[in-house]
Chains A and B, each alone.
Chain A
Amino acid sequence: QVELVESGGGVVQPGGSLRLSCAASGFTLSNFGMHWVRQAPGKGLEWVALTPYEGPYEGTIKYYADSVKGRFTISRDSSRNTVYLQMSSLRVEDTAVYYCAKDLGNAWYYLDYWGQGALVTVSS
């Protein structure tokens, strides 16, 4: 069955960097868009980034929330069945549980499977 497992969370100082990984299994990663979504403490869900299904052009197009554009980079390695979120210039307001999520189809943009989440704490 489909499983998504995030790793790489932790505590980092403001201005620092961190890379989250999402190990995917149970489906062919290259056939689906993949998202990162976060939830700050006591807040709702916030969409962060998307690497869409692109067929033979896999990995060339990415989309970001304005709040992370220029600081975060989403990428995928289908040979390793893994999606990444490279986070730099981290701010206190980036503190959140980060979820990776699979798209329902190759361009549905609904999220049908989610991981358990990785906690990122940005604090001095």
Chain B
Amino acid sequence: EIVLTQSPATLSLSPGERATLSCRASQSVSSFLAWYQHKPGQAPRLLIYDASKRATGVPARFSGSGSGTNFTLTISSLAPEDSAVYFCQQRSNWPPFTFGQGTKVEMK
């Protein structure tokens, strides 16, 4: 089973700042990685798939990069509505599909 490790656990930033979230895989997942945004009481939302492709309707301030074992989700200029938990997920070696434990982004 591929383990995904996300860092940091919590990111506290001000609106307008740049957020950089990391996801590291225990073995190579090629580019088969997605990022999701999850707000309390809401359904999770797909942001990025295949490491760098933005899902339909996702603002351009969200971007993904990386391949192999190291991946990054970047929010170029934080908006207040970006407060959420962000999860990565791999589909390279399954079952099971696995998720990271999440990074919480909060506004200062």
B-binding residues in A (CB < 8 A): 4, 35, 44-47, 50, 63-66, 99, 101, 104, 108-117
Asked if A44 and B100 sit within 8 Å, CB to CB, the answer is: yes
Asked if B95 and A112 sit within 8 Å, CB to CB, the answer is: no
B44 at interface (Cβ–Cβ under 8 A)? yes
Q: Contact check: which of B89, B95, B100 meets A65 at CB < 8 Å?
A: B95
| Residues of chain A lying within 8 A (CB to CB) of residue B38 | 45
Q: Show 14 A/B contacts (Cβ-Cβ < 8 Å), sorted by A.
A: A4-B43, A44-B100, A50-B97, A63-B94, A109-B32, A109-B94, A110-B50, A110-B89, A111-B46, A111-B89, A112-B56, A114-B44, A115-B43, A116-B41
Residue of A nearest to B85 (CB): A44
Q: How far is the CB of B47 from chain A (nearest CB, A)?
A: 10
| Residues of chain A lying within 8 A (CB to CB) of residue B89 | 45, 47, 110-111
Asked if B95 and A104 sit within 8 Å, CB to CB, the answer is: no
Q: How far is the CB of A37 from chain B (nearest CB, A)?
A: 8
- How many residues does chain B have at the interface if contact means C-beta atoms less than 8 Å apart? 26
Q: How far is the CA of A66 from the CA of B38 in the complex (A)?
A: 25
Q: How far is the CB of B88 from chain A (nearest CB, A)?
A: 10
Asked if B49 and A47 sit within 8 Å, CB to CB, the answer is: no
B87 at interface (Cβ–Cβ under 8 A)? yes
Bits for B20-48, please: 1 = Cβ < 8 Å to A, else 0.
Answer: 00000000000010101010011111100
Residue of A nearest to B56 (CB): A112
| Residues of chain B lying within 8 A (CB to CB) of residue A63 | 94-95
| Residues of chain B lying within 8 A (CB to CB) of residue A116 | 41-43
Q: How far is the CB of B64 from chain A (nearest CB, A)?
A: 12
Q: How far is the CA of A82 from the CA of B91 in the complex (A)?
A: 24
Q: Contact check: which of A65, A112, A113 meets B96 at CB < 8 Å?
A: A65
Asked if A47 and B98 sit within 8 Å, CB to CB, the answer is: yes
Asked if A44 and B87 sit within 8 Å, CB to CB, the answer is: yes
Asked if B44 and A112 sit within 8 Å, CB to CB, the answer is: no
Asked if B97 and A47 sit within 8 Å, CB to CB, the answer is: yes
Q: How far is the CA of A104 from the CA of B56 in the complex (A)?
A: 11
Name the residue among B32, B46, B101 with the largest chain A CB count within 10 angstroms.
Answer: B46
Asked if B99 and A46 sit within 8 Å, CB to CB, the answer is: yes
